Amino acid sequence: MKRPEGFDRAPQPPARRGAGASAERKRRAAPAPERHSEATAHSQTARPTTARPESTQRETERRESVPTERVAPSRAAAADRPKSRASRRRTARAEIRAAARARRREEKAEVRRFTAATRRRRTVALSALGVVAAAVGLVAFAVFSPLLALREVVVAGTERLDPDAIVSALEPEIGTPLALLDESRIADNLSEFTLIRSFVIELIPPNTMRVEIDEREPIGVVVSDSVFQLVDPAGIVIEETLERPDGVPILDLPRGDDGTVRTAVSEVLLALPADVLARVDRITATTRDDVSFTLRDSEQSVVWGSAESSDRKAVILAALLTQWGDSGAGEYDVSATGSAVFREG
C-alpha cells in the first residue's frame, strides 16, 4: 500500500509565535539586493533546479524560523547608494554660498584697488587735521593754562636802579599766563623809572620772566636853580641832586636852546676816550660850531670848534695830552685837524 507523500517525514516542531512575522519584517528592512543585468537574470532562470535533500530543506526552514540580525552595509555600498533629494539640496546650497563668498571677496578686492588713491588722500587729510588739532590744543594750553602763569621776575643789567623796585613795579603781572603778557602794559609799569632807556623781556617757561634793563648813560650835569640835573645825550633828566655828581662834566648851554647845541655837545663828549672824558670839567657852547671845554684839576682848556670830524679830533687831542699834559697852563686847539697846536699860557 502506497503511503501518502510526506507521510514519512519527521514531525516538525511548532514555530514560535510571531517568529515568522519578525523574520518578514527584518527581510523588508534589509537593504534590497543589487539588481543584476538581464543576462545574469536570464542565466539564473535558465539554470536547472535540482531537488534538495530532506536534511538541507530542514536546515533552511530552521534558519528561516530563527530571527536574523541586520548586517550594516559596507562603505562602498553606502557610497554607491544614490543620494537623497535633501542631501542634494544641502550640497547645492553649500556650493551657492561658497560661490557668493568668492564673489564678495573679488568685489571687495576690486573696490579696494579702485579706491586706493581716495583712501590715501583721506589718510593724509586726517593726519593733517590731527596735527592742526594738536597744535591748537598746545596753543590753548599755553595761553590759558595756569601752569604756565608768571610766578617770578628776574631783573638784570641795572647799575643805578634798584632791581627790587623794578620787581615791585611788575607785581600786577604776577599770575598772568606767559603767552598773555603785554609788553606795552609792562612798559607802562616801568615808565616811572626815567633811568631806563630800553628793556628786553625774555619768557622762560614755565613761570619766569627775565627783564634786561638798558640804563641811560649820563653825559653831563645841567645846573638849574642850584639843582644839579643829571642828563643823558637826549637831554632827559636821569637824576636830580643838590650836590654835583662825580665823574661827569657840567654842561653850559645857552638858554632857549632847541636841542641843536646840546646835540653837538653830546657828540663831542661821546667821541672822547674814557680817560680824556674823565678829565673834562666844564663844556661850553653858544652854537654848534664853537664847542670848548676845560680840563679838571688843571689850567688847560680845549678849543674844539664844530662837532664835525669829532673822532679825528679826539685822536689828535689824546696825542697832544700825552705830549704836553704836564706843561702847566695852556690851550689845545683842534678845531682844524690839519693844524692842531698847543699854546702855552
Q: Clarify whether residues 174 and 187 are in a common domain.
A: yes
Whether the pLDDT of residue 129 is over 80: the answer is yes
Q: Is residue 46 part of a domain?
A: no
Q: In DSSP terms, which residues pair with 228 in a beta bridge?
A: 223, 241
More confident residue, 41 or 264: 264
Q: What range defines the domain where residue 118 resides? A: 97-144
Please give the share of the chain, as a percent, with pLDDT higher than 70.
75
Residue 147 has pLDDT above 80, yes or no: yes
Query: Does residue 265 fall inside a structural domain?
Result: yes
Q: Specify the pLDDT at position 136.
A: 85
pLDDT at 51: 47
Instruction: Kindly report the CATH number assigned to the domain that includes residue 202.
Output: 3.10.20.310
Distance (Å, whole) CA 62 – CA 66: 6
Is residue 26 a part of any domain in this protein? no
Has residue 63 been placed in a domain? no
Q: Identify the residue with better confidence: 71 or 83.
A: 83
The C-alpha cell at 95 is 556650493
Within-domain flag for 38: no
Instruction: For residue 202, tell me if it sits in a domain.
Output: yes
pLDDT at residue 28 above 80?
no
| Pick from 47-56, 164-173, 241-250: least confident | 47-56
Domain closes at, from 89, 111, 144: 144
Q: Is residue 72 part of a domain?
A: no
Whether 290 and 337 share a structural domain:
yes
The domain total for the chain is 3
Q: Is residue 291 part of a domain?
A: yes
What does the pLDDT read at residue 145? 77
By residue count, the chain amounts to 345
pLDDT at position 254: 87
Average pLDDT of 274-282?
A: 91
Give residue 155's pLDDT.
Answer: 95
Q: Is 329 helix (H, G, I), strand (E, B) or coil?
A: coil
Tell whether 336 and 231 lie within a shared domain. Answer: yes
- E strand segments, 128-172: 152-156
In the chain, the N- to C-terminal Cα span, in Å, equals 208
138 shares its domain with 187: no
Q: Write down which residue in 171, 199, 215 finishes a domain.
A: 215
pLDDT of residue 7: 45
Q: Considering the entire predicted model, what is its pTM?
A: 0.52
Average pLDDT over residues 161-177: 93
User: Residue 231: which H helix or E strand, with range?
Assistant: strand 227-231
The CATH number of whichever domain residue 332 belongs to comes to 3.40.50.10960
- What is the pLDDT, as a whole number, of residue 49? 44
Please report the pLDDT score of residue 24 as a whole number.
53
> Looking at the structure, do residues 325 and 244 belong to the same domain, yes or no?
yes
240 shares its domain with 211: no
**Cβ atoms of residues 198 and 215 within 8 Å:** no
